[in-house]
């Protein structure tokens, strides 16, 4: 319990009258921290903290790597920058040894500052000093974790760049004819046959590496630590990450399998404007990054570059590519969907060479000054068009229908109408793609006149819907004709449920195997609903573990 003497030992509060000190003692939190325990995490809500005993370490994550920025000793405070800027904490504060910390919530601090202006003056001076230190950090030239050399139109190079970007790994990319290559690539420059060539920050040089090899060298987890888990989540999209967060937070031994990078299809969204809690919108990869950090902090394991080779339902065992096997008491299917492919002449040859399914923010810079086209009239296409419009010379949306209003949210339609370099071509479709080493032009047919015109094209991005790829699932797990997993009442209606109780809402035809997100048969396909179902799946997994698991 805090006392007046505890608080008076902090220089910031030493001149306060006893009545104010007593009020602080009665209203402030008294935190007793073990080594490694956080007083506040990076991104935490603003408050004022004072160290009463022990030693606090200031840490911040830069490009996935944690750095120590400083220390806070007894008598010192932290939280002045968030209070001055009304912002979250720019770094985290954790105990380096057993420590005792006092926490004054933001509202109580503002009342104190109004009553004791000298406290506000001292806090302002300290905030200016610390902000200056943060500015110094931001002025440091960022050091990329990977330097890569390869052709823009090499599909292997494109795959590596996408893998790095989606896993939040910073990289510098140069082509073989870049004038700065000799200065930035020590030793002999790589040959065209060796590309994509990569140099890691520790000096390791790789030639055409597999993503799993690269993941291992970059410190990403690719192997499970345990042989058995309480819940195994297949798929690292919004639904899978939500399940990981809730599963780990409730003490379940939780592991997520992801074949490429966390985020799923939502991770390729350049902007999500209608997700609760983000009034200014959030990109798909930012949302995925935050969820990934949260899941890992709570203890979930996230395995990347791993896919399922075989699923043994009877033994509750998932066999991975590469020969590993994981046994789990419950399994959550959150594999999402994959972009539907177009059967158009020239497309397959130019995928990754100017034609892309979906789009992420990392691809926007490559469209600078070009005329690009997007196929599709849904929200994903609208979000991408808005983002690309800030880089490309022109953006044209091509759709078969006669209006965006039928398939796109109104707020997106209104924003697109306000962009001078965004056009919409209705009742049209792409019927051909041209180019030798990369896409240079597309043919568009006007359905009204049946006329086909060729247009120069610097990039074509396809958003025509998606399908569930669930052929790898065993026959015991019921699906509809399009591959979507049946759950709850749909399992009963299909005559595929034989257990002694009714299936839980998100439970598949196999007790203890659940499905959530886009892979589940449901009319609602939204990021918010996927996150909600991921958390619900953990609740049902808990019920199963309590009453059914043997």
pLDDT digits (tens, 9 = 90+) for 95-119: 999 999 999 999 888 888 888 888 8
Rounded mean pLDDT, 201-209: 91
* β-pair partners for 273: none
CA-CA distance, 101 to 55, in Å (whole number)?
Answer: 10
CA-CA distance, 226 to 209, in Å (whole number)?
Answer: 27
Please name the residue that has the structure tokens 């209003």. 405
Tell me the percentage of the chain whose pLDDT exceeds 90.
54
Rounded mean pLDDT, 218-236: 94
CA-CA distance, 92 to 66, in Å (whole number)?
Answer: 10
Q: For residue 42, what are its two tokens? A: 């990076």
pLDDT at 103: 93
Q: Over 90: is that where the pLDDT of 305 sits?
A: yes
* β-pair partners for 223: none
Lowest mean pLDDT across 19-23, 259-263, 429-433: 259-263
- pTM summary value: 0.81
pLDDT digits (tens, 9 = 90+) for 399-416: 999 899 888 889 899 999
Q: For residue 73, what are its two tokens? A: 């000793």
Q: For residue 174, how far is the Cα from the chain centroid?
A: 26
Rounded mean pLDDT of the chain?
Answer: 89
CA-CA distance, 50 to 52, in Å (whole number)?
Answer: 6
For β-strands 197-200 and 146-149, DSSP reports them as antiparallel
CA-CA distance, 50 to 535, in Å (whole number)?
Answer: 36
**Which is more confidently placed, 156 or 166?**
156
Residue 402's SS3 state is: coil
**Which is more confidently placed, 449 or 128?**
449
Rounded mean pLDDT, 466-471: 87
Residue 391's SS3 state is: coil
- Going along the chain from its start, the domains and CATH numbers come out as 4-139 (2.60.120.10), 146-217 (3.40.30.10), 228-338+467-547 (3.50.50.60), 347-464 (3.50.50.60)
Nearest to 77 by CA among 29, 171, 21, 13: 13
Q: For residue 265, what are its two tokens? A: 């299809």
Secondary structure percentages of the chain, helix, strand, coil, to 5: 30, 25, 40
Q: Over 60: is that where the pLDDT of 134 sits?
A: no
CA-CA distance, 417 to 432, in Å (whole number)?
Answer: 28
CA-CA distance, 352 to 348, in Å (whole number)?
Answer: 9
Q: Grade residue 62 by pLDDT with cuts at 50, 70 and 90.
A: confident
Nearest to 241 by CA among 298, 306, 319: 298
Q: Grade residue 521 by pLDDT with cuts at 50, 70 and 90.
A: very high
CA-CA distance, 404 to 422, in Å (whole number)?
Answer: 13
pLDDT at 209: 93
């Amino acid at each position: 319990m805090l006392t007046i003497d505890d608080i008076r030992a902090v220089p910031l509060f030493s001149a306060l009258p006893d009545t104010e000190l007593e009020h602080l003692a009665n209203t402030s939190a008294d935190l007793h921290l073990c080594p490694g325990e956080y007083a506040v995490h990076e991104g935490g809500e603003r408050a004022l903290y004072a160290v009463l005993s022990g030693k606090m370490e200031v840490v911040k994550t830069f490009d996935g790597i944690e750095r120590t920025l400083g220390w806070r000793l007894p008598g010192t405070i932290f939280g002045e920058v968030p209070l001055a800027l009304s912002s979250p904490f720019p770094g985290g504060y954790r105990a380096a040894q057993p420590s005792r910390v006092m926490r004054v919530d933001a509202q109580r601090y503002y009342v104190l500052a109004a009553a004791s202006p000298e406290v506000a003056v001292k806090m302002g001076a300290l905030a200016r000093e610390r902000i200056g230190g943060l500015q110094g950090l931001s002025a440091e030239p960022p050091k990329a974790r990977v330097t890569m050399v390869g052709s823009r139109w090499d599909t292997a190079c494109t795959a590596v760049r996408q893998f790095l970007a989606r896993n939040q790994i910073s990289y510098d990319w140069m082509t073989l004819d870049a004038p700065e290559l000799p200065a930035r690539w020590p030793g002999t420059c790589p040959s065209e046959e060796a590309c994509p060539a990569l140099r890691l920050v520790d000096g390791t040089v790789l030639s055409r590496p597999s993503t799993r090899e690269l993941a291992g060298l970059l410190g990403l987890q690719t192997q499970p630590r345990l042989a058995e888990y309480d819940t195994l989540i297949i798929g690292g999209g919004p639904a899978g990450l939500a399940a990981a967060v809730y599963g780990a937070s409730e003490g379940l031994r939780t592991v997520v399998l992801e074949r490429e990078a966390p985020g799923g299809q939502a991770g390729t969204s350049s902007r999500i404007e209608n997700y609760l809690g983000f009034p200014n919108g959030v990109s798909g990869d930012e949302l995925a990054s935050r969820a990934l950090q949260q899941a890992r902090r709570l203890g979930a394991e996230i395995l990347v570059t791993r896919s399922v080779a075989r699923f043994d339902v009877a033994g509750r065992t998932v066999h991975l590519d590469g020969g590993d096997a994981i046994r789990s008491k419950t399994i959550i299917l959150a594999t999402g969907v994959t972009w539907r492919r177009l059967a158009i002449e020239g497309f397959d040859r130019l995928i990754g060479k100017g034609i892309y399914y979906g789009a992420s923010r990392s691809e926007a810079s490559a469209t600078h000054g070009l005329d690009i086209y997007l196929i599709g009239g849904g929200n994903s296409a609208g979000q991408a068009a808005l983002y690309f419009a800030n880089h490309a010379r022109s953006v044209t949306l091509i759709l078969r229908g006669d209006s965006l209003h039928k398939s796109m949210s109104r707020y997106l339609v209104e924003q697109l109408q306000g962009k001078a370099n965004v056009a919409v071509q209705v009742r049209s479709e792409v019927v051909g793609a041209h180019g030798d080493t990369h896409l240079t032009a597309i043919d568009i047919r006007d359905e009204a006149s049946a006329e086909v015109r060729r247009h120069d094209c610097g990039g074509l991005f396809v958003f025509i819907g998606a399908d569930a790829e669930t052929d790898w699932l065993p026959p015991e797990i019921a699906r509809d004709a399009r591959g979507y997993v049946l759950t709850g009442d749909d399992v009963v209606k299909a005559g595929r449920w034989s257990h002694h109780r009714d299936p839980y809402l998100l439970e598949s035809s196999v007790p203890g195997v659940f499905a959530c997100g886009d892979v589940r048969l449901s009319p609602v396909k939204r990021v918010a609903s996927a996150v909600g179902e991921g958390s619900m799946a953990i609740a049902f997994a808990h019920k199963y573990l309590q009453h059914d698991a043997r």
